[in-house]
Structure 1
Amino acid sequence: VVVLDNASMHRSMAFRRKIVEWMSHRVHLIYLSAYSPELNLIEILWKQMKYAWLPLSAYLSFDRLCNEVHRLLGGYGVLHAINFE
């Protein structure tokens, strides 16, 4: 089972052409409801990174932003974690 959001790439003609092939391999696609980022776990992580973990200095350049995102993702589960309590 693959859970997808409603990004345009997931609705493209190229993507739709592959669905029959994937189904023959027993891959089932499930689309999330439109406008429901709270159901997409990566959206929760991006929000936490953006508003809590990324320093403002990360936005000074694209390279800095990439480095900070890689640093955060590399430390996820060890240095950083989301607590839903």
Structure 2
Amino acid sequence: MLDNASIHTAKKLKPYWDLLEEKGMRFYFLPPYSPELNRIEMLWRKMKYEWLPFKSFTPSELEQAIDEITAGFGAQYQLTFC
């Protein structure tokens, strides 16, 4: 399953898509705007609105906060898809 990012839909990739499809791989694209179907969007929404404090971050502070969430993912931070 792929989103519609330009890297996934670039014309230069068409020969590679065709080759992979010939070998039995199937590609399914999400609708153009469907954040509810894209797991990374669900993760970012959870991080932004629930796990990160509501404050202004410098780039390094934001990176550190995201690293802390990443380190605690699965134990302290959990994400369910239902």
After the TM superposition, which of the residue ranges 44-53 and 22-31 deviates more from structure 2?
22-31
Q: 1:70 aligns with which of 47, 67, 70?
A: 67
Give the structure with the larger strand fraction.
Answer: 1
Structure 1 residues 21 and 50, CA gap change in structure 2 (3 angstroms):
same
Please report the RMSD computed on the Cα atoms of aligned residues, expressed in angstroms. Answer: 2.2
* Identity fraction in percent: 33
Alignment of 1:1-85 (within 5 A): 3-57=1-55, 59-83=56-80
TM-score, length-normalised on structure 1?
0.75
TM-score normalized by structure 2?
0.77
Residues paired across the two proteins, number: 82
CA, structure 1 residues 23+82, in 2 after alignment: closer, same or farther (shift >3 Å)?
same
With 33-42 and 68-77 compared, the bigger mean Cα shift is at: 68-77
Amino acid of the residue matched to residue 72 of structure 1?
A: I
Q: Which runs of 5+ in 2 are unaligned?
A: none
Distance in 2 of aligned mates of 1:54 and 1:79 = 13
* Alignment gaps of 5+ in structure 1: none
